[in-house]
């Protein structure tokens, strides 16, 4: 499989991938990903710059809630420098906030690449942040590793196809196939009519989940369920009455979707007011974090379920700090940077980004961008998130440039102190993670 170098239009690539017109506006044209890339080599010297881009403010701020702790932790680790090929390099970590805005993401990516001359970029959380940054890196020949976005949205949404891939940009996270398996496992814990109402917005994630071939309904795990799709709604919708009425009319007893946190809060509040109460709700993106669940009024977050991509119960260890998942979560909660907050799922994959960075930058000349990018494509590493491999194919490496991660089924449960705890209720894809809760109906 070769990197992009053909004249096929991006629209045609997306059509071939089955994403259609909705995804076309989600990412810049990838013509720059072919011939003429600038990655012949990085700068000289013994100083390495790592850029870290995340949405610390705005609609997706919860994904980067642990950034202050994480950045302090990794700066302490890299403070002693790294050694590669017998040479010791000092390391500087440059962090940037996107404000959850794609244009701001593109702006900070340009600043890091063009003005700061970073050697490697790490980027996290949602297509709105990941795509502008990854596209800039691919165009300029700067190695980039990203996470917290379903791989189909990342790969096909950026113009990937079965025959064309990227040279400098790599990704690790779950795919829609894992989400579908875990969420349907949760559904099967309840006696329902198997009618699933879906909230798939008019954005890159929504397009990926709706795609007939690679999306949610195309996965073997969801066969046997009937889907009620009211159509793509716009992010920022203030009135979900029509969608709620459709779900009630169709007798929906299962709810699924990938709404933003503000949109789900609006929908779920209106659903309660209008008498729509499914037996089980498995919601991606919107209720991944305790802060988002606690913000829902009248304890409406209690017993909502999600397919989780990291919990402290994961029996894996950080290659940077030697911490187990539980130790990492506990250390975060005790830190001043947590400001009294509990751990959240972003901590695991965002920490793993720096584990990958360390492994790659110490394996080759960290100033040689082509060598770093090529090494990423060969990397296999055990992280606090689990085993990652960008080689070997199979479920763990479904397409080039992508490594997948394990997931478990979880449910939010209100504790005696008023906070919400995330309990593992199913583990078919990660049997090493112990089940510690029993699913309860809404």
Same domain membership, residue 114 and residue 32: yes
Same domain membership, residue 349 and residue 209: no
* Model confidence pLDDT, tens digit, residues 100-152: 999 999 999 999 999 999 999 999 999 999 999 999 999 999 999 999 999 99
- Specify if 434 maps to a domain: no
| Number of domains composing the chain | 2
> In the predicted model, what is the mean pLDDT of residues 328-348?
95
| pLDDT higher than threshold 60 for residue 29 | no
- Specify if 437 maps to a domain: no
- Specify if 299 maps to a domain: yes
* Model confidence pLDDT, tens digit, residues 192-243: 999 999 999 999 889 989 998 889 999 999 999 999 999 999 999 999 999 9
- Specify if 431 maps to a domain: no
Same domain membership, residue 379 and residue 279: no
Strand partners, 315: none
> In the predicted model, what is the mean pLDDT of residues 168-176?
96
- Specify if 436 maps to a domain: no
Query: Quick one: pLDDT band at residue 417, thresholds 50, 70, 90?
Result: confident
Same domain membership, residue 125 and residue 207: no
Displacement of CA 49 from its chain's centroid (Å): 24
- Specify if 132 maps to a domain: yes
- Specify if 433 maps to a domain: no
Q: Compute the distance between CA of residue 243 and CA of residue 271 in angstroms, rounded to an integer.
A: 9
| pLDDT higher than threshold 80 for residue 35 | no
- Specify if 275 maps to a domain: yes
Q: Compute the distance between CA of residue 288 and CA of residue 237 in angstroms, rounded to an integer.
A: 20
* Model confidence pLDDT, tens digit, residues 234-249: 999 999 999 999 999 9
Same domain membership, residue 99 and residue 29: yes
CATH number at residue 250: 3.40.50.2300
pTM, to two decimals: 0.85
E strand or H helix at 92:
strand 87-97
* Model confidence pLDDT, tens digit, residues 39-74: 544 556 789 999 999 999 998 898 999 999 999 999
Same domain membership, residue 181 and residue 170: no
The larger pLDDT score, comparing residue 30 to residue 391, is at: 391
Same domain membership, residue 300 and residue 354: no
Same domain membership, residue 303 and residue 241: yes
Which structural domain range is residue 108 located in?
A: 2-174+315-403
CB 377, CB 360: distance < 8 Å: no
**Average pLDDT value for the chain:** 89
Query: Token pair for residue 305?
Result: 């379920």
């Amino acid at each position: 499989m070769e990197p992009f170098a053909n004249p096929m239009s991006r629209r045609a690539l997306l059509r071939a991938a089955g994403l259609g017109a909705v995804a076309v506006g989600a990412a810049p044209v990838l013509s720059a990903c072919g011939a003429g890339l600038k990655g012949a080599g990085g700068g000289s010297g013994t100083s390495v710059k790592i850029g870290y881009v995340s949405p610390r403010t705005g609609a997706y701020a919860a994904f980067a809630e642990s950034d202050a702790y994480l950045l302090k932790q990794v700066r302490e680790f890299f403070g002693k420098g790294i050694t590669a090929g017998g040479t010791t390099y000092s390391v500087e970590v440059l962090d940037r906030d996107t404000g959850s805005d794609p244009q701001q993401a593109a702006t900070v990516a340009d600043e890091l690449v063009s003005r700061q001359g970073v050697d490697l970029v790490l980027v996290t959380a949602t297509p709105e942040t990941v795509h502008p940054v990854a596209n800039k890196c691919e165009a300029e020949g700067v190695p980039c590793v990203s996470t917290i976005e379903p791989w189909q949205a990342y790969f096909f949404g950026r113009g990937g196809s079965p025959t064309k891939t990227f040279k400098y940009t790599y990704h690790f996270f779950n795919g829609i196939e894992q989400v579908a398996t875990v969420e349907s496992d949760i559904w099967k814990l309840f006696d329902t009519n198997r009618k699933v109402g879906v909230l798939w917005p008019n954005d890159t994630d929504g397009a990926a989940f709706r795609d007939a071939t690679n999306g949610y309904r195309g996965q073997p795990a969801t066969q046997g369920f009937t889907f009620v799709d009211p159509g793509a709604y716009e992010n920022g919708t203030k009135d979900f009455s029509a969608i709620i009425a459709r779900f009630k009319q169709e007798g929906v007893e299962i709810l699924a979707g990938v709404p933003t946190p503000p949109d789900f809060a609006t929908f779920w509040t209106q659903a309660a007011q209008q008498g729509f109460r499914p037996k089980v709700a498995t919601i991606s993106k919107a209720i991944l974090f305790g802060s988002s669940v606690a913000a829902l009024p009248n304890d409406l977050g209690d017993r909502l379920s999600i397919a989780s991509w990291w919990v402290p119960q994961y029996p894996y260890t950080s290659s940077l700090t030697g911490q187990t998942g539980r130790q990492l979560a506990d250390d975060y909660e005790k830190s001043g940077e947590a400001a009294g907050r509990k751990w959240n799922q972003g901590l695991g994959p965002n920490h793993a980004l720096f584990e990958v960075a360390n492994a790659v930058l110490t394996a080759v000349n960290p100033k040689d961008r082509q060598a770093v990018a090529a090494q990423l494509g060969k990397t296999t590493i055990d992280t606090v998130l689990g085993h990652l491999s960008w080689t070997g194919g199979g479920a763990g490496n479904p397409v080039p440039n992508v490594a997948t991660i394990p997931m478990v089924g979880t449910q939010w449960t209100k504790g005696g102190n008023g906070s919400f705890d995330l309990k593992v209720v199913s583990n078919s894809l990660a049997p090493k993670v112990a089940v510690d809760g029993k699913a309860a109906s809404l």
